């Protein structure tokens, strides 16, 4: 999932610059997002896991903010700000642990269906 998010950020930047080069008055925002509850990712909502509807509302509130990259759901910004302040080796370990846990959950779900 991390690779897809990095790709999306690079694509958003490229599209934003393309719109500027073509003198198009189109705002392109890149949303940084953590875990979200949705039909595809059936997590339990919590302080750090908003519903997809809640995240969409927060995202729409960011339209027109003037930034290029935003964290629409502020608890995600705090969470990843803290993770980003860790030494790289510890940050990588934490991210890997989260990814492995998510993979286990997905595998368990797919086996039960």
Distance of CA 34 to the CA centre of its chain: 4
Sign, CA torsion 34/36/39/45:
positive
Q: Which two tokens stand for residue 3?
A: 């690779």
- Average model confidence (pLDDT) across the chain: 91
What's the pLDDT at 1? Answer: 55
For the stretch 32-83, pLDDT in tens is 999 999 887 778 899 999 999 999 999 999 999 999 999 999 999 999 899 8
Q: What DSSP string describes 5-62?
A: HHHHHHHHHHHHHHHHHTT------EE-----B-SSS-PPP-SSS-BHHHHHHHHHHH
What's the pLDDT at 23? Answer: 97
- Number of Cα atoms under 13 Å in the Cβ half of residue 32: 13
What's the pLDDT at 102? Answer: 85
Q: What is the pTM of this model?
A: 0.78
């Amino acid at each position: 999932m991390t690779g897809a998010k990095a790709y999306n950020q690079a694509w958003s930047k490229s599209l934003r610059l393309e719109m500027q080069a073509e003198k198009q008055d189109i705002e392109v925002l890149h949303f940084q997002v953590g875990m979200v509850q949705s039909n595809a990712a059936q997590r339990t909502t919590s302080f750090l896991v908003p519903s997809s509807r809640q995240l969409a509302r927060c995202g729409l509130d960011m339209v027109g903010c003037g930034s290029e990259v935003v964290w629409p759901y502020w608890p995600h910004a705090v969470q990843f700000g803290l993770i980003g302040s860790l030494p790289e080796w510890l940050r990588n370990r934490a991210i890997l642990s989260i990814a492995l846990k998510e993979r286990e959950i997905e595998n368990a779900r797919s086996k039960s269906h």
